[in-house]
Copies of this chain bind each other. A is one copy, B any other.
Amino acid sequence: MLKVAFEQASLTEDQQQALTAMWRRCVRRIIVSTTLAGSGHPGGSMSSLHALLMLYATLRHDPGNPCWAERDRLLVSMGHISPGVYSVLCEFGYVKEEDLFLGFRRAGSAFAGHVETCVPGVEWNTGNLGQGLSAGTGMALAQRLRKSEGRTVVLMGDGEQQKGQIAEARRFAVKYGLNNLFVVIDRNHLQIGGDTSVVMPQAIEADYVAAQWNVITVKDGHDFGQLFQALRRIFLREVDDPSNPTVVVAETVMGKGVSFMEHKAKYHGSALPEADAAKALEELGLDNPIPLYRERRNTFLAFDEGFCAARPVPVIEVGEPRTYGVEVLTDNRSAYGAVLEDLAARNNDGEVPGVLCFSCDLEGSVKMDGFHKRSKEAFFESGIQEHHAATLAGAASREGFVVFFSTFGVFGVGETYNQQRLNDINQTQLKLVCTHVGLDVGEDGQTHQCLDYLGLLQNLYDFSLFMPADPNQTDRIIRYVAAHSGNFFVGMGRSKLKVICDESGAPRFGGDYRFVPGRADWVRQGHDGAILSYGMALPHALQAREDLAQQHQLKLALLNFASLRPLDQAAILHAAETGLLVTVEDHHVDTGLGARVAAVLADHGRPCRLVRLGVKRYGLSGLPADLYRLEGIDAVGIVRAVLQAKTDGSSRT
């Protein structure tokens, strides 16, 4: 494997030749793999190829141990240059050329159209542009916290510099002095729509300078010597401000190396037809294996699942649960904050903190302030830059830390839904704890009311979804997610809540209660129907249940679904035996628990009268009690709905 050290002043003649030979083999792989697939992105793969090769030749990495903790991270933000990345990974011994040619862009193969981590050597699944730098800051931050010598480099396209999330990431990197991070921009001046200066004029260097980054321009990004000198300056810290990160802007040519592909935007996303590919290979003096592999790709191939990088799963102390007595009136947020402080006290006093917290200018509101005070070096404030923060926290969560990211629901779920989706695709280990969800936000009104936390996150296949009902359950859920791997959402409102009690008047979720995902809590027993609820609506459901019992002699069961995914289907079917289910939620009426219950009933062909109560319009600005009343999800509304259903039911029979 070629290894060039920055101790040398310049590339040797041998190294130049070796790199050029590698480049020729890689160009061939790019052309062959895309033509075989009949699709893909050869143009940018070729414009960035010299930079990719120079990076792999100089970075610290070990193909025999792709997950080596001390490696440098090379994150490719423009995931569409996958043919280039795979080609270079062939060259450095990570993957085999034959597997690439047979598998590229075929279902089940690891060689996806946009780079995925199932290929060893790939650090992050990318494809949606402009988000790689945020992930890179997460990796660089983790290296810093682990006192690693490793650096992170993010290779980016020039078109994607338009994306606002990059401006956010730039600021964050400077705020935290991430000089172990650098960026290389493949400045080929073309994007899908043509010339970048026509599609969307931008001042790339000026934007980085304004953000206080060091800027190095490489006049010919296809000259290995110039690329080496630029990287060497970074390594030796020969930049204007060595305490800040650096960007290398490498001037390049789309489609570099094949005369009729150069400078053509068309080849951003088009493979060469076979005849053109043959011409290109001939022009380069390279052999053409396309006919051979075409034949082999036509026979069915079962691909294995690809490489799966083992991610360090942190082991931490979660401490003893705390019980809030019936006399306590507090909000779930505060119970969350108290657990964070516990976690800091138990896990963050060593050389490397075990638990990290990420916030977006709402530290006090989301109750991360106690953790911050206790564990300054493990708290990261991103400002009003939620897209960046969501990706950043996701990336950091894969680096052996227990990571909490908190903000209001509208920002952590709605505004950054796609960032969470990309986190989920990247198998992050994120604890996304959102406060101020639902109408419970009250007076802040429509724009701040997150009524879709389940409706949105249910689309993410690997997120567990929890909604604690009171401070006791919050305490236990937060300790649970802290100790377990996977992506978790924990949602909570803004208001102070009474502790939920059992029929004896003792805290229902205190003491020995243990949170188990996928298990509903029977808060009250009953046979005249069942109310199914969770979160901020549960106290209202409980009040309604008691009013029905006392004033109407109707004894309904009350179930709490703190675990919305996994969902306790058995409990739903059991409750359905009462003949009447009423779901109550501070959530869009069509996309939350009610919809899931309907699906469970339908999937099991179980007929049962179902009444779904929830929010049927964008909320108003006012006291939560008024908003609940207007939507019929307060105790009065629930009682009314139950009585109505009972009347309908008896008039039917």
Residues of A within 8 A of B (CB): 37, 39-40, 79, 105-109, 111-114, 116, 125-130, 159-160, 162-168, 171-172, 174-175, 191-193, 199-203, 206-207, 209-212, 359, 361-365, 381-385, 387-388, 410-411, 414-415, 417-418, 421-422, 424-425, 443-448, 451-452, 455-456, 458-459, 461, 588, 590-591, 594-599, 601-603, 605-610, 612, 616-618, 620-623, 626-627, 630
Residues from chain B with a CB closer than 8 A to the CB of A414 are 417-418, 421
Which residues of B are found within 8 Å of A127, using beta-carbon distances? 444-448
Task: Establish whether residues B447 and A128, one from each chain, have CB atoms under 8 Å apart when the complex forms.
Answer: yes
Most interface-central of A384, A411, A445, A455 (chain B CB within 10 A): A384
How far, in angstroms, from A612 to B604 measured CA to CA in the complex?
12
Copies held by the complex: 2
Cβ contact of A114, chosen from B192, B381, B444, B622, cutoff 8 A: B444
Q: Which residues of B contact A193 (CB under 8 A)?
A: 359, 361-364, 381, 383
Given contacts A164-B168, A459-B451, A598-B602, contact A443 B105 (CB under 8 A): yes
| Chain B contacts for A164, CB-based, 8 A | 163-168, 385, 387-388
A361 touches B199 (CB 8 A): yes
* Distance in angstroms between the alpha carbons of A447 and B165 in the assembled complex: 17
Partner of A107, one of B116, B422, B424, B623: B623
Name the B residues within 8 Å of A410 (CB-CB): 128, 418
Chain B: CB-nearest residue to A199 = B383
User: Can you add 14 more A-B contacts, CB < 8 Å, to A193-B359, A193-B383, A203-B211?
Assistant: A106-B623, A107-B622, A108-B626, A108-B630, A125-B447, A128-B415, A162-B171, A162-B384, A164-B385, A410-B418, A417-B456, A594-B599, A595-B599, A602-B602
In the complex, what distance in Å separates the CA atom of A174 from the CA atom of B202? 10
> Looking across the interface, which residue of chain B has its beta carbon closest to that of A166?
B164
Residues of B with C-beta under 8 A to A192: 361-362, 364-365
- Complex Cα gap A164–B421 (Å): 19
Contact for A168 among B163, B206, B445, CB less than 8 A:
B163
Contacts of A209 in B (CB 8 A): 206, 210
Contact B461 A618 (CB under 8 A): yes
A446 near B425 with CB under 8 A, answer yes
Question: Complex formed: what's the CA distance from A106 to B624 in Å?
Answer: 10
Inter-chain contact B607/A605, CB cutoff 8 Å: yes
Give the residue of B129, B361, B602 whose beta carbon is less than 8 angstroms from that of A597: B602
- From B411, B603, B606, give the contact of A612 (CB < 8 A): B603
Pick the residue among B383, B411, B458, B610 that contacts A191 (CB under 8 A).
B383
Question: Least Cβ distance of A159 to chain B in Å?
Answer: 6
In the bound complex, residues from chain B placing their C-beta under 8 Å from that of A623 are 106-107
Q: Which among A112, A364, A422, A606 has the highest number of chain B CB atoms within 10 Å?
A: A112
Interface centre among A116, A159, A410, A620 (most CB of B within 10 A): A620
Taking CB atoms, residues of chain B closer than 8 Å to A359 are 193
CA distance A410 to B415 in the complex (A): 14
**A607 pairs with B607, CB closer than 8 A:** yes
What are 6 contact pairs spanning A and B, CB under 8 A?
A: A112-B446, A125-B446, A193-B362, A202-B383, A203-B210, A456-B459
Question: How near does chain B come to A129, taking the closest CB pair, in angstroms?
Answer: 5
Partner of A601, one of B159, B364, B388, B602: B602
Write the chain B residue with the least CB distance to A607.
Answer: B607
Contact A162-B459, Cβ < 8 Å, known A172-B200, A361-B191 = no
In the docked arrangement, what's the CA distance between A444 and B286, Å? 28
Residue of B nearest to A205 (CB): B210
Contact of A446 with B116 in the complex, beta carbons under 8 Å: yes
| B605 in contact with A606 (CB, 8 Å) | no
With a cutoff of 8 Å between Cβ atoms, the chain B residues found around residue A630 in the complex are 107-108
A602 in contact with B610 (CB, 8 Å): yes
Whole-angstrom CA separation of A361 from B163 in the bound complex: 12
Q: Judge whether B388 and A447 touch: CB under 8 Å.
A: no
Bound complex: CA of A630 vs CA of B106, how far in Å?
12
Expressed in whole angstroms, the Cα–Cα distance for A108 and B159 within the complex equals 46
User: Which B residues touch A598, using CB under 8 A?
Assistant: 595, 598-599, 601-603
Q: Given that A459-B451, A598-B602 are known contacts, is A113 also in contact with B443, CB under 8 Å in the complex?
A: yes
A192 to B411 Cα, complex, angstroms: 15
> Smallest CB-CB separation from A419: which chain B residue?
B415
Chain B residue nearest to A624 (CB atoms) is B107
CA distance A627 to B112 in the complex (A): 13
Which of A193, A448, A458 is most buried by chain B, counting CB atoms within 10 A of its CB?
A193
CA distance A558 to B209 in the complex (A): 60
Query: Nearest Cβ in chain B — how far from A122, in angstroms?
Result: 12
Instruction: List residues of chain B with CB within 8 A of the CB of A626.
Output: 106-108
CB distance from A79 to the nearest CB of B (A): 7
Give complex CA distance A424, B385 in Å. Answer: 23
- Which residues in B have their C-beta under 8 angstroms from that of A620? 107-108, 112
**Cβ of A301 to closest chain B Cβ, rounded Å:** 11
- Residues of B contacting A364 with CB < 8 Å? 192-193
The 9 A-B residue pairs with the shortest CB-CB distance, nearest first, are A164-B164, A107-B622, A200-B383, A127-B447, A112-B621, A607-B607, A598-B602, A452-B459, A206-B210
Measured CA separation A473–B612 after assembly (Å): 34
